[in-house]
Every structure is written in structure tokens, then in C-alpha cells.
Amino acid sequence: MINYKEIITIEPGKLGGKPCIRNMRITVYDVLSWLASGMSTEEILDDFPELTKEDILACLQYAAERAHQITHQRA
């Protein structure tokens, strides 16, 4: 299993502190938006060769963890 904490980085001075992939200027939001719009993993990797399949999976894990945290904070 991929540990998203080794891939997703947050720097206060970069992109307003948004979670990014490996200190790049590609955000978790970007990747999730591409997936939500119907792009396949392969299409994303073709368009952004600096990304890896593990990067995309890390974004999904990050989003799942955040959703879990939000759900449990409301309980």
C-alpha cells in the first residue's frame, strides 16, 4: 500500500498551502478534478509525464483520509 504522506506535500508558501504532489505545482485537487471529469489514469499520465500512478493513488488516499476525518469530526 502506498503511503500518501510520502508523496503529498504541503508548503505554506507554495500555492497557498494546498496539498501538492512531491513538491510540484500539481495539486491533489487538480488530479481529483481530472479523474472526476472522466480522464483515465493513463490519460493523466500521458498529459503529465512527471506524474506516476502512485502519485494518482496517493491523491485518492489523501481524499479518502480527509473525508474520513471530516465524517468523524461531525459524529
Between vectors from CA 67 to CA 12 and to CA 14, what angle results, nearest 5°?
15
Q: Is the pLDDT of residue 38 over 80?
A: yes
The rounded distance, in Å, linking the Cα atoms of 73 and 71 is 6
Instruction: List pLDDT tens digits, range 43-56.
Output: 999 999 999 999 99
Of 38, 34, 28, the C-alpha closest to 60 is 28
Domains located in the chain, CATH noted: 4-74 (1.10.10.10)
Residues 20 and 26: beta-carbon distance below 8 Å = yes
0.75 exceeded by pTM: yes
The rounded distance, in Å, linking the Cα atoms of 46 and 52 is 10
